[in-house]
Amino acid sequence: WKEPRTTITLPFWKSLVPNLRFVICVRSPLEVAESLAKRNKIPIERGVHLWYRYLRAAIEDTGGCPRMITFYDDFFTDGAAEFGRMVNFCGLQRPCELSILEDGIRGELRHHRSELSKFLGATAMPVEYKLMYLGLRGLTVREPDSLAPETNSTDSAGTFLRVLDEF
């Protein structure tokens, strides 16, 4: 569900529900901040900080569990592939037509979109937040036709956070 604050309660849920699998959907911190600014009048600086805090909690608190990192943009550019990856990762029965799932992702529902140049030039965003987004994006690069789930057997996202802390 779309509630980033859930990430701070993950330790509780992990203690109650065995064998959890996590799908972490990452959206551009600038898009998140712009959305929060428009809807809730939250300053951009605070919005990007909230993005960082909740995403970091999601990665840290899902360490050691099967998890898949996906990106919000990818559902709009190749929804069938992303839904396929997610369905495979979760071990769900594949729907006869992935278009059923794609119907829930419509371009008109996307109110904020930031181009890479705008994202990189955003002065309200600390460089470590930009590095976190770009680094996670780099960790999840896959072949266009690959629907294999992320195994994270070496916990590359967790390792990346530790490297980012050293920055």
Task: Please answer whether residues 130 and 120 qualify as being in contact, where contact means their C-beta atoms are separated by less than 8 angstroms.
Answer: yes
Q: How many residues appear in the chain?
A: 167
Closest CA to 47 of 140, 137, 112: 112
What DSSP line would sit under 101-150, residue for residue? Answer: HHTT--GGG------HHHHHH-TTS-HHHHHHHHHHHHHT---TT--PPP
Taking CA 50 as the corner, what is the angle to CA 131 and CA 34, rounded to the nearest 5 degrees?
Answer: 85
Predicted local distance difference test score (pLDDT) of residue 161:
84
pLDDT in tens, 34-58: 989 998 999 999 999 999 999 999 9
Q: What's the rounded mean pLDDT across residues 94-123?
A: 70
Reported confidence tier of residue 73, pLDDT bands at 50, 70, 90 = confident
Predicted local distance difference test score (pLDDT) of residue 141:
67
Task: Name the average pLDDT for the chain.
Answer: 81
Dihedral of alpha carbons 25, 30, 31, 32, sign:
positive
Predicted local distance difference test score (pLDDT) of residue 54:
93
Q: What is the pTM of this model?
A: 0.80
